[in-house]
Amino acid sequence: MKERIVNYLQFIDDILKADNPDTDYDKLMKEHLIQIGFFMHERLIHLIVTVVFAICTIISAYAFLAFSNIGILALTVLLLILLAPYIAHYYRLENGVQKMYRQYDEMLKRSKSQE
């Protein structure tokens, strides 16, 4: 997913940078809104998974404090290790979608200036 969002953002940036007068911004905006929808769905799913992992990590940390069991400590450490990539991925998705909003706003400005 990381590669897909990075490539898509670069693709749109290249179109905006080229500022070709023949670009159909209305069509591009429609396609862009579809992609925003896909990435927003992905972002929501990863937010849910990240929150669940965080809650499980907190519960296991409290369980270790309550029972001082080495197995629970191992579980807590494993969950912390898994939580870090989930947070990083969600961060990347969130920033990517925010950038897509800014790209859409730029397309909207250019579309209106073509009228």
Per-residue pLDDT tens over the stretch 52-104: 999 999 999 999 999 999 999 999 999 999 999 999 999 999 999 999 999 99
Task: Indicate the SS3 state at residue 96.
Answer: helix
First to last CA, the chain: 36
pLDDT of amino acid 25: 94
pLDDT of amino acid 88: 95
Q: What is the mean pLDDT of the chain?
A: 95
Is the torsion defined by CA of 101, 102, 104, 105 positive or negative?
A: positive
Q: What is the pTM of this model?
A: 0.86
Closest CA to 55 of 79, 77, 75: 79
pLDDT of amino acid 1: 82
Per-residue pLDDT tens over the stretch 1-53: 889 999 999 999 999 999 898 999 999 999 999 999 999 999 999 999 999 99
Helices 70-114 and 2-18: crossing angle in degrees, nearest 10, is 20
